[in-house]
Structure 1
Amino acid sequence: MNKNSIAKKLLALKQADLDLRNQLLQGGQLSEGYNKEMEALHRSNAQQLAQLIDTIGYPTVERVGEEASAAAWLLIQHAISLPDFMRRCRTLLEEAVRAGQADPVHLAYLSDRIAVFEGKVQRYGTQFDWDAEGRLSPQLLDDRAMVDARRKAIGLNTLEEQTELLRQRADGEKQVPPGDARDRKRAYDIWRKAVGWID
C-alpha cells in the first residue's frame, strides 16, 4: 500500500466511526453505556489499524500525512475494549513524539485515557465524565496546577476553559447525564474487569 491509499483507508475508518457516533447521538443512545454496535465498529477499526501498524509501524505524519495520522490516533482512542492494543500504541506514540513525528497532544489524550481506565490519575485533564451534579467534569487529576502547566507546555487551553467548552458542546448536542450513577459505575467496573483494564 502506498501513502495515499493508507491515508484514504484511515480517513474512511474515522468517518465510519464519526457517522455511527452521530447516528447514536441523534437517537439519544450515546449516554446509555457502551453501545454494542459502536464497540463492534471500534474493535473492527482497531483490528485493521493493528494490521497496518504491523506493516508500516505507527502511522506517523511522515508515513501517512497529518490528517491520516490524526485519524489513526482517534481510532486508537476509541479502541477502549482493547487495553493491550491501546497500551502498545501509547508506547509507539511516545517514540513518534520523541522523534517529532506525532502530535504530543495526541499522546497526552491517550495517556490520560489509559490512566483513567486503569483507575489512575490523569496528568493533562483530557478525560471528562458526568459528575454527581450531572455536569461534565474532569476525571481524577494528580495536581490541578501542574495539569494546567503541562497543558500549556503542549499548546492546550486551560482546564477551566476546556471544561466550559465541553459543557457547551454537550448542551448543544443535547447530551444528558445517565440516570442512576451507582448502577452506571457498577456496570463500568464490571466492563473494565471483563476487558482487562483492572483485575
Structure 2
Amino acid sequence: MDYKSIAEKIIDLKNADLTLRIKLIESGQISEGYNEEMKDLHNKNAKILNDIIDSIGYPTIDKVGKEANEAAWLVIQHSIEQPEFMKKSAELLKRAVRENKADLKSLAYLTDRIAVFEGKPQLYGTQFDWDENGNLSPNHFDDLAKVNERRKSLGLNTLDEQTEIIKKQAKNENQSPPINFEQRKQEVEEWKKNVGWIR
C-alpha cells in the first residue's frame, strides 16, 4: 500500500478546503450561509476520504503521518452533510485514539460537532454559533465546570478564553451575525432534518 501518495492526496483535500475558505473570507462571503461551492467541495472531499478509509482504514499517524492524519480530521469535521460518514469516522477515530495513533483533541472536536448537529449538549465546548444577541457563543453544553475540567484534561484553555479567541477570529474574518436570528435558526433545523442529523 502506497501510504505516501495517500497521505499527499489527503493533504491536498485539506488544502483545497482551506484555499476556498480564504477566498470566501476575502470576498466577504463567509457569513452568507453555507456557500454552494464550499458545500460541493465538502461533499466531494468526504466521498474521496470515505473511499480512502474503506481501502486503508482510518488514516492514523503511523500510516500516513501527523499532517495527513490532521488533514483527514479536518475533512471529516467539515463533512457536515454526511452524518453517516461523520459518525462512522468518529468511531474509527475513537479506536485510533485508544491505540495512540490519533490526537484526542481531534476526537473531542468531532464528538462535539456531532452532538451539536444531533441537538445534544457538547462535552468540550469546541463548537460555537451566533446567539440571539448577535454574539458568538458556545453551542449548548452540559455544565461549565465539567466542560472546563474536560478541556483542561486535553490541554485546552478555559471556555471563556476560547470564546474570546473565537470572537477575535470572527472579527478578523469580517464575519457578522445573521440578520434574522429566528429565521436562520429555523433554516438550520430544516437543514439538519434534510441531511439526516435529526428526524
- TM-score surpassing 0.5? yes
Q: Compare 83-92 and 24-33 and name the one that shifted more.
A: 24-33
SS of the counterpart of 2:59?
coil
- Match of 2:161? 161
Gaps spanning 5+ residues in structure 2: where?
none
1:151-180, CA deviations, whole angstroms, 9 ceiling, x for partnerless residues?
Answer: 111111111111111111111111111110
RMSD: 0.8
Offset at residue 142 of structure 1 (A): 0.6
Q: What is the aligned partner in structure 2 of residue 42 from structure 1?
A: 42
- 1:52-91 aligned within 5 A: 52-91=52-91
- State the shift of 1:62 in Å: 0.5
Q: How far apart, CA to CA, are the structure 2 residues paired with 1:12 and 1:72?
A: 10
Deviation at 1:22, TM superposition (A): 1.1
Between 1:105-114 and 1:23-32, the stretch displaced more is 23-32
Note if 1:100 corresponds to 2:108. Answer: no
Distance 1:71 1:159 in 2: 25
Match of 2:188 in 1: 188
Superposed displacement of residue 32, structure 1: 1.5
- Is it true that 1:114 corresponds to 2:79 in the alignment? no
1:4, CA displacement in angstroms? 1.5
Displacement of 1:97 after TM fit? 0.5
Q: Which amino acid aligns with 1:187?
A: E
Q: CA offsets, 1:91-138, max 9 Å, x none?
A: 000000000110000000000000000000000000000112211110
Q: Structure 1: state its 5+ residue gaps.
A: none
Question: What amino acid sits opposite 1:26 in the alignment?
Answer: E
How far is the alpha carbon of 1:72 from its aligned partner? Answer: 0.2
One-letter code aligned to 1:47: K
The count of residues paired between Structure 1 and Structure 2 equals: 199
2:29 alignment partner in structure 1? 29
Q: Deviations over 1:8-46 (max 9, x none)?
A: 111111010011111111122112211111111001000
Residue type of the alignment partner of 1:123: L
- TM-fit CA distance, 1:3: 2.0
Tell me how far apart the structure 2 counterparts of residues 178 and 54 of structure 1 sit (CA, whole Å): 38
Distance 2:25 2:172 in 1: 11
Amino acid corresponding to residue 175 of structure 1 in structure 2 = Q
Q: What is the deviation of 1:186?
A: 1.0
Q: Deviations over 1:32-78 (max 9, x none)?
A: 21111111100100000000001110001001000100000000000
What SS does structure 2 have at the residue aligned with 1:65? Answer: helix
- Secondary structure of the equivalent of 1:129? strand
1:137 counterpart letter in structure 2: S
- Return the letter of the residue paired with 1:93: L
Counterpart in 2 of 1:147? 147
